[in-house]
Structure 1
Amino acid sequence: MKFLHLSDLHFGKLLFEYSLLEDQEYWCRQVLDLLQNDPHDAVIIAGDLYDRSVPPGDAVAMMDRFLTALVSQLRLPVLAIAGNHDGSQRLAFGAGLYRNSGLYLSALPSREVERITLEDRWGPVDFWLLPYLTPADGKTLFPQENPHTFQETYRLMMEENLPRLVPGRRNVLVAHGFFCRLSPEHPVGELETCESETTVGTADLVDAALFEPFQYCAFGHLHGSQRAGSERMRYCGSPLAYSVSEERQVKSVLSVELDGQGNCTVTPIVFSPLRKVRSVSGTMEELCAPTGGTFVSDDYVFVNLMTDGVEPDAARRIRNLYPHYLGIRYVSPLEKETVLGGGEALRKLDLCQAFRAFYEQTQGEPLTEDAMRAVRQAAQEKEEQS
């Protein structure tokens, strides 16, 4: 059984002021080209098909085109679940009708997890579709147990459904959440998170050891491609960088092959985005130098502008360089030395210089000479006392 693991599509996403529909359409074409040239048996979408519960019409239209191409043109079964960004009630509409065409969409949590069985040359493979689940869902589904945490809710769900696994069959779990194999050495896991994900500390963290009986776990929710503490438990990550904090992540989809004994081979497939998300730093003169102030790149760029004061007409000049610039952060030269330069530069400053840097970073204005004299006097008194 060979299937493609996707998640966190977030169709309809805005990056600052920019709609990413063109970038997402470009990614969809790459996925379809891959599947055309490298046949798979199924496609998994592990939640967050849309970016919000009521997606814009053009995002719904794009999703319709993408799913239609997968199911009707490529004749591939698609197994999808709702994530925390999806409107589960709306996503559930028509699910019963879709099944007849090969689109299996599980949007509403149920005490009995939906099981879809596909066949390959070695026999049946059961796919378990578990949409995003909260303790509030757990209280509804398990009123007698009345779970209060994500861990308790998922434990009850597994206790209810693991007895349904057929002995000798291969099983794949599709789930959306904050999962990791925990251990005494790493009690909160080792997961890479970013700004565009919705997590509340570790309150929603679930020990993925609950899912040990499954031969592969296709997870969604985290935007970086990574293991969830096990080779068989994977996040494929989002197709694109949806925040500046993701600029260094290598985005991929996962091609998973499951043999007759349930051993899986996972191959990341990297697509080039239409536009990268990245940040640049420098003075206005340094940024303008390569092209004399004209077009540099069509990427989505966040600019750290090094300056002592206000740069006249900065936004227009930056837009000439980067038409899709995301924002400008003004950084003083001293902050550049102490923050961007790291701890080594900070250690070179004396107490007065360090205090000045701290004050200007936190207050956004220079320290007055009178205040600086008071700082020097306090530093000298401390030196005499030590």
Structure 2
Amino acid sequence: MKFIHTGDWHIGKLVHQIHMTEDQRFILQDFIRVVAEEKPHAIIIAGDIYDRSVPPVEAVELLDEVFSTILIELNTPIIAISGNHDSPDRLGFGSKILRNKGLYIEGKLTKNIKSVVLEDEFGPVNFHPIPYADPAIVRELMDDSTINNHDSAMKAIINQVKSDMNPGQRNVIIAHGFVIGGESLETSESERPLSIGGSEYIDVTAFMDFNYTALGHLHSPQKVAVDKIRYPGSLLKYSFSEARQKKSVTVVEMDKAGGTEIRKVSLTPKRDMRKIQGKLLQLTDPAIYKDTNIDDYVMVTLLDEGELLDAIGKLRGVYPNVLRLERSQLKGIRQTNGKMGSDYHRKSKLELFREFYEAMEGDSFKDDYKEILIDVLSDIEKEERGK
């Protein structure tokens, strides 16, 4: 059995007020190419298909185009669940009718998880899709007052799945959440917290009895404790904290005994998201940027000292998609401002200007400058007295 594990598409997402739909259309076409080349038995989408519960029209249209191509032209079944960004009711609409066409979408959690059974040359493989649900919903659904966090909620659901599961067959769990187990996992700024105070974490041991666990929620491709429990990561970079990540989908090949061979297949975006730093004249020098994709989404850290005139305008003249601009020296300025602010009323104008100058320039205020400033302040005071 070969299947492609993906998730966290976040169709309709805004990044720094930029609509990502065009970039998502491009990367999803590349995904379709991978599906056509790999010819899997199924596609697994582990939640967060949309970025918000009420997606924009263009996001719905894009998903319809992609699903239609995969189901009709490539004749490949899709098994998908809702994530914490999705609306369970909207995502699951028409799911009973669509099952006959090979589209298995579980939007809303039910007490009895209905498995999807697909066959290969070795027999059945049971896919158990668990849509995302808050612990309070699971507590009410299971009528279990001991469920008070994501870990206890997932364990109750897994126990329900196991009660109807045939352990002699191959079994795959599809879930969406923050699963931990041993080593620390790579997270990013674009992942919305599921809860406050650590109650979002799910212990990896809950999934050990399954041949493969297809997870969604974290945006970096990675395993959790063992190779058979994995996040595929998001299709695109959605924050600059993901700049170093290599985006991909996970191809899983399962043998007769349920053992898995896993590999990542990279995807090529229309625009990368990356960080650059240097002085303004360097970054706008053709010799520096000629071999790069200047249309990438970039975060710029300027290393110049002192004031700059229209830095963002000059940068966008070269890099049209500058989404974020920082000045490295401003970190020191913010620290100094905190120290200056508490007793500024006790300081003379000369002292205040000296501290401001040293914060801006990162250099000492020389005696020559002091004499000039004294003369300037004296002239200002004379003008004020004469009014």
For the superposition of Structure 1 and Structure 2, which TM-score range results when normalised by the shorter chain?
0.7 to 0.9
SS in 2 for 1:307: coil
Aligned counterparts of 2:250 and 2:203: Cα–Cα separation in 1: 22
SS in 2 for 1:117: strand
Aligned counterparts of 2:24 and 2:33: Cα–Cα separation in 1: 14
Report the residue type matching 1:252 in the other structure: S
Spell out, residue by residue over 1:318-348, the C-alpha distance to the aligned partner (whole angstroms, 9 max, x if none).
1111101102112218x6xxxxxxxxxxxxx
194-203 or 93-102: which moved more? 194-203
Kindly indicate whether the alpha-carbon contact (under 8 Å) linking 1:41 and 1:76 is maintained by their aligned counterparts in 2. yes
Judged with a 3 Å threshold, the aligned counterparts in structure 2 of structure 1 residues 219 and 302 are, in CA distance, closer, same or farther, namely: same
1:273 corresponds in structure 2 to 269
Report the residue type matching 1:70 in the other structure: I
Q: Which of 319, 322, 325 is matched with 1:325 structurally?
A: 322
1:92 corresponds in structure 2 to 92
Aligned counterparts of 2:247 and 2:91: Cα–Cα separation in 1: 26
Spell out, residue by residue over 1:39-87, the C-alpha distance to the aligned partner (whole angstroms, 9 max, x if none).
1110000000001111110011000000011111111110000000001
Judged with a 3 Å threshold, the aligned counterparts in structure 2 of structure 1 residues 358 and 58 are, in CA distance, closer, same or farther, namely: closer
Aligned counterparts of 2:190 and 2:161: Cα–Cα separation in 1: 32
Judged with a 3 Å threshold, the aligned counterparts in structure 2 of structure 1 residues 69 and 246 are, in CA distance, closer, same or farther, namely: same
Report the residue type matching 2:131 in the other structure: P
217-226 or 105-114: which moved more? 105-114
Report the residue type matching 2:50 in the other structure: Y
Kindly indicate whether the alpha-carbon contact (under 8 Å) linking 1:239 and 1:252 is maintained by their aligned counterparts in 2. yes
TM-score by length of 1: 0.84
Aligned counterparts of 1:364 and 1:194: Cα–Cα separation in 2: 34
Please state if 1:248 is matched with 2:229: no
SS in 2 for 1:321: coil
Please state if 1:222 is matched with 2:218: yes
Spell out, residue by residue over 1:240-296, the C-alpha distance to the aligned partner (whole angstroms, 9 max, x if none).
100000000011100000100000001100112111101111221121223599997
1:359 corresponds in structure 2 to 335
Judged with a 3 Å threshold, the aligned counterparts in structure 2 of structure 1 residues 265 and 370 are, in CA distance, closer, same or farther, namely: closer
Kindly indicate whether the alpha-carbon contact (under 8 Å) linking 1:12 and 1:21 is maintained by their aligned counterparts in 2. yes
Kindly indicate whether the alpha-carbon contact (under 8 Å) linking 2:282 and 2:288 is maintained by their aligned counterparts in 1. no
Report the residue type matching 1:194 in the other structure: S
Give percent identity, aligned residues only: 35
The within-5 A match list for 1:16-27 is: 16-27=16-27
Aligned counterparts of 1:26 and 1:83: Cα–Cα separation in 2: 23
The within-5 A match list for 1:301-312 is: 301-312=298-309
Aligned counterparts of 1:296 and 1:79: Cα–Cα separation in 2: 36
Aligned counterparts of 1:364 and 1:60: Cα–Cα separation in 2: 53
Judged with a 3 Å threshold, the aligned counterparts in structure 2 of structure 1 residues 236 and 144 are, in CA distance, closer, same or farther, namely: closer
For the pair shown, the structure with the greater C-alpha radius of gyration is 2
Deviation at 1:136, TM superposition (A): 1.4
50-59 or 300-309: which moved more? 300-309
1:145 corresponds in structure 2 to 145
Aligned counterparts of 1:19 and 1:72: Cα–Cα separation in 2: 28
1:196 corresponds in structure 2 to 190
Count of aligned positions: 346
- Give the aligned CA root-mean-square deviation in angstroms: 2.5
1:353 corresponds in structure 2 to none
Deviation at 1:191, TM superposition (A): 0.9
1:47 corresponds in structure 2 to 47
Kindly indicate whether the alpha-carbon contact (under 8 Å) linking 2:128 and 2:161 is maintained by their aligned counterparts in 1. no
Kindly indicate whether the alpha-carbon contact (under 8 Å) linking 1:178 and 1:221 is maintained by their aligned counterparts in 2. yes
291-300 or 277-286: which moved more? 291-300
Aligned counterparts of 2:293 and 2:93: Cα–Cα separation in 1: 46
Aligned counterparts of 1:135 and 1:303: Cα–Cα separation in 2: 41
Judged with a 3 Å threshold, the aligned counterparts in structure 2 of structure 1 residues 70 and 225 are, in CA distance, closer, same or farther, namely: same
TM-score by length of 2: 0.84
Aligned counterparts of 2:29 and 2:149: Cα–Cα separation in 1: 40
Give the gaps of 5 or more residues in structure 1: 336-355, 374-386
Kindly indicate whether the alpha-carbon contact (under 8 Å) linking 1:83 and 1:131 is maintained by their aligned counterparts in 2. yes
Report the residue type matching 2:314 in the other structure: R
The within-5 A match list for 1:1-386 is: 1-181=1-181, 186=182, 189-199=183-193, 200=196, 202-290=198-286, 297-332=294-329, 359-360=335-336, 369=354
Aligned counterparts of 1:95 and 1:362: Cα–Cα separation in 2: 57
Kindly indicate whether the alpha-carbon contact (under 8 Å) linking 2:189 and 2:241 is maintained by their aligned counterparts in 1. yes
Aligned counterparts of 1:42 and 1:363: Cα–Cα separation in 2: 60
Kindly indicate whether the alpha-carbon contact (under 8 Å) linking 1:106 and 1:114 is maintained by their aligned counterparts in 2. no
SS in 1 for 2:286: coil
SS in 2 for 1:114: coil
